[in-house]
A = this chain, B = another copy of it.
Amino acid sequence: MSDSAPMKPFPAVEPRWRRRPNERPQEILDAALQVFAEHGLARARVEDVATCAGVSKGTVYLYFESKEELFREAIRDRIARTLEMLESATPPGDPVARLRRFIDAYWKHLRRPLFASMYRLILAELPQFPGFTRFYGEEVSDKVMELAAQIVREGVESGHFRAIDPTVAARMTVGLIVQHAIWTSHPTLFPRVGNRSDAELGDEITEFLLSALLPPGGARAGGDA
Which residues of A (177-225) have their CB < 8 Å from a CB of B? 178-180, 182-183, 186, 188-193, 204-205, 208-209, 211-212, 216-217
**A3 to B171, alpha carbons, bound, how many Å?**
35
Which residue from B134, B165, B175, B208 sits with its C-beta under 8 Å from A179? B175
Least CB separation from A144: chain B residue: B192
Residues on B with C-beta less than 8 A from A170 are: 192
- Verify if A127 is at the interface (C-beta below 8 Å from B): yes
**A193 to B168, alpha carbons, bound, how many Å?**
9
Which residue from B165, B168, B171, B188 sits with its C-beta under 8 Å from A130? B188
Residues on B with C-beta less than 8 A from A180 are: 171, 175
Least CB separation from A168: chain B residue: B204
**A171 to B181, alpha carbons, bound, how many Å?**
12
Task: Say yes or no: A120 contacts B124, CB within 8 Å.
Answer: yes
Residues on B with C-beta less than 8 A from A167 are: 192
Q: Mark A115-142, 1 if CB is under 8 A from B, else 0.
A: 0000010111111101001101110011
In the complex, given contacts A42-B42, A175-B183, A176-B179, what are 18 additional A-B residue pairs having Cβ atoms less than 8 angstroms apart? A40-B125, A120-B124, A123-B123, A123-B182, A124-B124, A126-B189, A127-B188, A130-B188, A133-B188, A134-B188, A141-B189, A164-B208, A168-B208, A171-B204, A172-B205, A175-B176, A209-B212, A212-B212
> Measuring CB to CB, which residues of chain A are less than 8 angstroms from any residue of chain B?
40, 42-43, 120, 122-128, 130, 133-134, 136-138, 141-142, 145-146, 162, 164-165, 167-172, 175-176, 178-180, 182-183, 186, 188-193, 204-205, 208-209, 211-212, 216-217
